[in-house]
Structure formats: structure tokens, C-alpha cells
Amino acid sequence: MPVSIPPFSNVPAAGDPVASAWSQQLTQFAVDGPRGWIGNASPAADQSGIGATMTDVTGMSVAFTADPTRRYKTTVVLSCYPTAAAAVVVQLTNAAGGLLRRAFATVGATNGYASLSIVAVESGLSGAQTRKVMANTSAGTLVIYSATTTALIVVEDIGRVVTRAAARPGELPAPDIELPGDLPARADVELPPSAKPKRARKT
């Protein structure tokens, strides 16, 4: 039966019965765990002249190849200002401009500033994918600042899509890896004097 070992425990010695459990745990993490950064992009210069039409933000697009068994996280952060009091909309879209997520900001004064962020978590994607940023403004024109002032889109792999067994009310979900009732005793572990069994005195 597969077993798990507590985190932060010492690496098992060669030939130790726990070594196989350690190997199972590391292998499972390699399969299920996050793989991290996939790609990022930032504009090299400020972009001005964006009006009421939803417009691509230059330099804020990431293309990647998706695996349907993986889960992906896309984060967008940018700073901007409209030249008039306005409602600003920023969107995360696919390559065709299909809306995935959006963020709003209402700027009540001329040349007021806004910082917006979007986070999207997706699964079931397959093949070539693109995540890009678009924006518009309800009045005046919009200026998007470059990376110097913070403008970034980043895509990350945050782990495998895992379906866990549902728990009954009041119970925790069943773990993927179970711990047996006992593990073999470690012969090389020296107990402190206070923990050693004491012999009974003869009377």
C-alpha cells in the first residue's frame, strides 16, 4: 500500500523501508504539483490614443501550448489614466478577442489614475492558446503605462487537475496517499534517557 511521510522529515537512508514512501511522495508531487512560469510580457513604451473601441494593449500577450490535464493561472496588472472623467475597462481575452475576465475602474477627475488587476484560473485547455489584454474608456482617450510603471501579464502552470473523492458532512476528503497503521521501527534512532523503558526494581 502506498504511504506518505510527514513534510520536513529527514531523507531516508539507503535501504530504509521508508525510502519507497519518500520516492512515491516525490513522484506524486512531480506529477500533480505546479510547474510554474510559462510566459510573461510587458509593453516597452506607453500606449496612448485608446478610445471607446476595445483595443489590444501592445506588448501584453502570451502564447503557449496547453495540456488539458493541467490547470493554468493568468495574472494581469496595469496602470493607466484617461484624459477625461471616465469608466475604464480592461479585459483578458483569447487570441480572437473572446472575453475571459474583465476589471473596471471609474475615474472621476481629468487625468486621474487607475491601477487594475485580473486573475483567471482555467483548466481543460488544449493545444495552442493565447492570453492577451484589451482596454477601452467611456470618454476621452486612455493611456496605458509601460512596464516601468507596472504593466504585466504572466501565465503559470499551477498543478494537475485532480478529482478528489467527496467527503461526507463533518469529514475531511480522503487523502490520495494513505498512512498504514504502523511503520517498521528505526534501529538507528537513539532514544533519549528519559524515553527509555525502566526496569522494575526487585523488592
Q: What is the DSSP string of 141-196?
A: -EEE--GGG-EEEEEEEEEE--PPPPPPTT-PPPPSS---S-----TTPPPPGGGS
Class of domain 36-160: mainly beta
The whole-number pLDDT of residue 7 equals: 53
In what helix (H) or strand (E) does residue 84 lie, and over which residues does it extend?
none
Say how many C-beta atoms besides its own lie within 10 A of residue 80's C-beta.
Answer: 25
CA angle 16, 21, 22 (to 5 degrees): 85
Residue 128 neighbours by CB under 8 Å, 6+ apart: 63, 64, 65, 66
Q: Is the pLDDT assigned to residue 155 strictly greater than 90?
A: yes
Cβ atoms of 155 and 64 closer than 8 Å: yes
pTM summary value: 0.71
Task: Please determine, for residue 3, whether its predicted confidence score (pLDDT) is greater than 90.
Answer: no
pLDDT at 183: 47
Mean pLDDT of 134-141: 96
Residue-range domain boundaries for the chain = 36-160
Lowest mean pLDDT among 2-16, 134-148, 168-182: 168-182
